[in-house]
């Protein structure tokens, strides 16, 4: 058998050539797409009336007696659960042997009256934006002379809610002699979450929600403001900073990710030689890629079904409080620390039960689980991807807080493709996905440090341009 040695070399040479050309194209020839044109008044509610209600109305969370009675009945009258497998923790999902403790606590020990009072401790409102009644918390501190009040929009994700910020709120809005500013916090329930209306038609993705929330801030009188976000709040914040860069003064991001083609390509190249893009002590948060891919395959099935069939899944979760409980709690287990899968209680013992049940009550009492899951479908489709917003850099200063056990990690070398004015990243040695709820003091301190730095940089920028 004869061999054509030049022929054997052609395939690898062609492959190397194609890869090299793609690299040159992505990094040197490909330009960011233009910013798409958006309808800033696009209507998402029922038929539009001639006169829009622009009032801002006080709102109070109510756990009605009929709802509580029905909830307890559903919790106590269920079919027998399948016994958990011997010797497993949460490797198969929520361990059924842990169900009686949670169900009994929710039905018998969770004090609905006291928790309702707790959830109403901060001023809450509703206002109609683009056809949707948007629920939000607003805490405005009383400040002495010489202290400036600065507005910040804080955005949650799934399966979280405004409840994530309750412990951090007093710290964020506190007045301190060590600062010349205090934060006025505006925390909305995302459309389709909690007590905010869901869209009646498809298409309300992260960019469209960014517009709704920007318009909420305009309704409240703020033409410029700071933003903070994690989970979906991180993605909405990225879109807001891209669409309205002149209005966003700074972005505190506790899930900082750049999803551009440059960042993705460099991530692949970095797998061959990690020091190319990430410090040695942080390499295990990204590499080996096989570990990251295995984690995605094992833990992100929920994302696929919510992005494709949210309404099917929503039927069971809307009808069964036990189903809703285990579906959400399982995320608070694994997303806090992956190794909690191996513990009998899923590591949920580290959480205060009332905290987690408060969050679940905001889903159950409002009946929003289906509409909340639809957000995955609205952001994972060709129409939304074709907007190309991830490829457009934003000049907005960004500060990244990176919990040790967060779902994703990127170093500054990648983040700067999206955020060229990256101020700082703060990679922690503690914490998980729900960092504001888990470590409120640390979270609040980091947010305040970020705002202080944003203000300092802006002052230096303005002074420079006045010279």
Read off the pLDDT of residues 322-354 as tens digits, 9 standing for 90 and up: 999 999 999 999 999 999 999 999 999 999 999
Render pLDDT for 242-270 as a digit per residue (tens, 0 to 9).
999 999 999 999 999 999 999 999 999 99
Q: Which residues are catalytic?
A: 231, 376, 433
Q: Work out the percent of the chain whose per-residue pLDDT is above 90.
A: 89
**Residue in 400, 401, 435, 427 with CA at minimum distance from that of residue 280:** 427
DSSP letter at 63 equals -
Count Cβ atoms within 10 A of the Cβ of residue 65 and give its class: 0-12 exposed, 13-18 middle, 19 or more buried: exposed
8 A C-beta contact, residue 155 and residue 162? no
Question: In the numeric block, which tokens belong to residue 270?
Answer: 């970095």
Q: Is the pLDDT of residue 311 over 60?
A: yes
Domain boundaries, the chain: 1-30, 56-466
What is this structure's pTM?
Answer: 0.94
Any bridge partners for residue 399, and if so which? 252, 424
CA atoms within 13 A on the CB side of 463: 6
Q: How much is the mean pLDDT over the chain? A: 94
Q: Rounded distance, CA 166 to CA 236, Å?
A: 21
Q: Give the fold, CATH level 3, of 56-466.
A: Rossmann fold (3.40.50)
- pLDDT in the model for residue 139: 98
Count Cβ atoms within 10 A of the Cβ of residue 58 and give its class: 0-12 exposed, 13-18 middle, 19 or more buried: exposed
- pLDDT in the model for residue 405: 97
Q: Rounded distance, CA 43 to CA 313, Å?
A: 27
Q: Rounded distance, CA 404 to CA 427, Å?
A: 7
């Amino acid at each position: 058998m004869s061999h054509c040695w030049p022929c054997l070399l052609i395939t690898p040479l062609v492959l190397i050539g194609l890869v090299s050309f793609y690299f040159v194209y992505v990094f040197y020839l490909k330009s960011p797409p233009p910013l798409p044109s958006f309808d800033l008044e696009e209507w998402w509610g029922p038929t539009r009336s001639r006169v829009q209600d622009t009032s801002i109305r006080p709102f109070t969370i109510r756990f009605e007696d009929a709802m509580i009675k029905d909830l307890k009945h559903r919790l106590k009258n269920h079919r027998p659960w399948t016994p958990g497998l011997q010797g497993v923790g949460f490797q198969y999902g929520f361990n059924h042997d842990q169900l009686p403790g949670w169900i009994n606590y929710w039905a018998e020990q969770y004090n609905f009256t006291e928790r309702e009072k707790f959830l109403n401790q901060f001023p809450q409102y509703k206002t109609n934006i683009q056809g949707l009644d948007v629920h939000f918390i607003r805490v405005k501190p009383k400040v002495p002379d010489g202290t400036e009040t600065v507005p910040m929009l804080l955005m949650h994700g799934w399966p979280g809610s405004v409840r994530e910020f309750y412990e951090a709120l007093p710290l964020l809005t506190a007045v301190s002699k060590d600062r010349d500013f205090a934060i006025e916090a505006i925390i909305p329930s995302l459309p389709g979450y909690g007590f905010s209306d869901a869209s009646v038609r498809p298409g309300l993705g992260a960019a469209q929600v960014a517009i709704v929330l920007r318009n909420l801030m305009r309704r409240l009188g703020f033409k410029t403001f700071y933003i903070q976000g994690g989970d979906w709040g991180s993605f909405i914040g990225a879109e807001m900073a891209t669409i309205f860069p002149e209005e966003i003064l700074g972005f505190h991001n506790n899930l900082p990710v750049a999803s551009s083609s440059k960042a993705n390509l460099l991530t692949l190249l970095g797998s061959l030689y990690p020091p190319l893009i990430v410090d040695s002590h942080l390499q295990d948060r990204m590499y080996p890629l096989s570990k990251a891919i295995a984690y995605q395959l094992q833990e992100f099935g929920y994302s696929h079904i919510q992005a494709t069939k949210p309404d099917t899944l929503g039927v069971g979760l809307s009808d069964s409080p036990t189903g809703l409980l285990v579906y959400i709690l399982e995320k608070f287990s694994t997303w806090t620390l992956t190794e909690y899968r191996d513990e009998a209680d899923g590591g949920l013992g580290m959480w205060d039960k009332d905290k987690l049940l408060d969050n679940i009550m905001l889903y159950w009492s409002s009946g929003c689980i289906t509409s909340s899951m639809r957000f995955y479908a609205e952001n994972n489709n060709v129409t939304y991807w074709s907007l190309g917003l991830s490829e457009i850099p934003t000049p907005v200063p960004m500060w990244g807080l990176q919990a040790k056990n967060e779902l994703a990690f990127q170093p500054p070398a990648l983040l700067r493709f999206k955020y060229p004015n990256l101020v700082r990243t703060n990679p922690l040695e503690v914490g998980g996905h729900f960092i504001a709820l888990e470590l409120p003091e640390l979270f609040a301190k980091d947010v305040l440090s970020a705002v202080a730095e944003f203000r300092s940089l802006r002052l230096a920028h303005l002074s420079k341009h006045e010279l």
